[in-house]
Amino acid sequence: MIGNRPLKPPHLLAAIDESSYAERVISHIGEYYGKLTGARVTLFQVIPAKPPGYWDDGHILDETERSERQKIVKNWQAAYENQTEDLFLKAKSRLAAAGVPERDITVKRQTMVEGIARIFWPRPAGVTTTY
């Protein structure tokens, strides 16, 4: 929760992944907010960008090749989502057991659009770096 004004009821955003830290976040939310009436939780996951094996092969793809590549990437993304679905089911059941109604638990996934290097480069106008 961000800000100095308490939300009534609180809406929490929990970024989760396959790590043990994510399990601790879910436990913490369940323990402290599970019994709070009206608390809502959004489970959020950033799907990694496509692996290097799915990048272009160093030549310009024609329309057929581009279409095939897009199908392969979509299949990879669907397989990744299927692999991590158990993660969300487990988190939802733990939150429900802690008292958060299932109707107040939502899931959001977003594919990473840019890497961290692209976010900071090129630098915005007026930003300088000194060494």
Binned average pLDDT, 10 residues per bin, the chain of 131 residues: 63 88 91 87 85 70 84 86 88 93 91 61 54 42
- Helix, strand, or coil here: 120? helix
Spell out the domains of the chain, with CATH numbers in brackets: 11-51+59-120 (3.40.50.620)
The pair of structure tokens assigned to 116 is 């961290």
pTM of the model: 0.67
CB 101 within 8 A of CB 40: no
Ramachandran angles phi, psi of 96, nearest 5°? -65, -40
